[in-house]
Amino acid sequence: MDAIVTAGGVPLPEEPLYDATQGHPKALVDIAGKPMVQWVLDALGAAESIDNIIIVGLTEKSGLTCEKQMYFVSNQGKMVENLQAGARKAVEINKKAEYVLIVSSDIPAINGEMVDWVVNTAMQTKLDVYYNVIQREVMEKRFPGSKRTWTKLKDMQICGGDMSVGRIKLIVDDDTEMWEKITDARKSPLKQAALIGFGTAFQLLTGNLTLQKAETNIMARLKITGKAVVCPYAEVGMDVDKPHQLEIMREDLKMQLKKAEKAEKAALKKSKK
């Protein structure tokens, strides 16, 4: 499967990460010595399930590297158009391609194992879309100060993940206007529920909406098939939207690098004995 990496966002002066980016792409902000998106590319490069990587919003001049073949697509201006451009590139690369993995450039803590879990879990069936969600207890155990936006369902509290699997035909051919409205409202669970229908919004407000019921309502409204996948990896939902989240990731990945260096030195020392 090919992966589309969305990397076209440039924070505006009024947005939280402007001070850290100063008019440059958010994907290129430094985290522990690497551009944020480079961490994502390293994970995709290590994943057995990924063939090619399509980066939307950056160019070859960005200096990024990957173990897999990379293709660059220019920023189309809006998220939906970026996804469609990436999906068209995937078809250009492989006319028989049916699905793509959609990955945000701002989840730098992921690794190859997590990528493979998302792809392999989705491909057990043949639905149109697979959207990962993270339970609150999983996120707060791994990243206690993350301060995510929680959707309070009857059976659990969740936040959205930033790795999804989608059928290419759905991305390219479906109702662009509807998808634009949903992606524009992606940070507000209530706005999303209202777009899908009053009944769903009411159930969410009153705490009577379960994950399964939400999934059923959403798929019926959009006239597609799909599944909300409860992902065990907090890293899939730990996107960098605000300064405190950026600092969490800088400290976390700096620590991961130190652990890797320590393990490498120990292995080298052992091999010399």
2-265 has which CATH code? 3.90.550.10
pTM: 0.90
Instruction: Let me know: does 174 contact 80? Beta carbons within 8 Å.
Output: no
Interatomic CA distance for residues 166 and 130, integer angstroms: 6
Q: Give the chain's count of helices (H) and strands (E).
A: 11, 10
Please report the DSSP string for 45-106 in residue order. HH-TT--EEEEES--GGG----SSEEEEE---SSHHHHHHHHHHHHHHH-TT--EEEEEETT
Interatomic CA distance for residues 233 and 228, integer angstroms: 14
Helix then strand then coil, in percent of the chain rounded to 5, is 50, 20, 35
Instruction: Sketch the domain layout of the chain as residue ranges.
Output: 2-265
Name the pairing type of β-strands 226-230 and 129-135: parallel
Interatomic CA distance for residues 58 and 64, integer angstroms: 10
CA-angle at 233, arms to 267 and 207, nearest 5° = 160
CA-angle at 191, arms to 185 and 195, nearest 5° = 95
Two structure tokens written together for 171: 């991305």
pLDDT at 170: 87
CA dihedral 164, 167, 173, 178 (to 10 degrees): -40
Q: Which helix (H) or strand (E) holds 212?
A: helix 211-222
pLDDT at 35: 97
pLDDT at 196: 60
Give the count of alpha carbons within 13 A of 22, CB side only: 3
pLDDT at 262: 86
Interatomic CA distance for residues 213 and 223, integer angstroms: 15
| Each residue's pLDDT expressed in tens, for the chain with a length of 273 residues | 999 999 988 999 999 999 999 999 999 999 999 999 999 999 999 999 999 999 999 999 999 999 999 999 999 888 888 999 999 999 999 999 999 999 999 999 999 999 999 999 999 999 999 999 999 999 999 999 999 989 888 999 999 899 999 999 988 876 666 666 666 655 565 566 665 666 666 676 667 788 888 888 888 877 889 999 999 999 999 999 999 999 999 999 999 999 888 888 888 777 776
pLDDT at 101: 97
Chain CA centroid to CA 231, Å: 12
Residue 27: partners with Cβ closer than 8 Å, 6 or more residues away? 7, 8, 9, 35, 36, 37, 57, 58, 105, 106
pLDDT at 80: 86
CA-angle at 199, arms to 196 and 202, nearest 5° = 105
Phi, psi of 53 (to 5 degrees): -125, 125
pLDDT at 172: 87
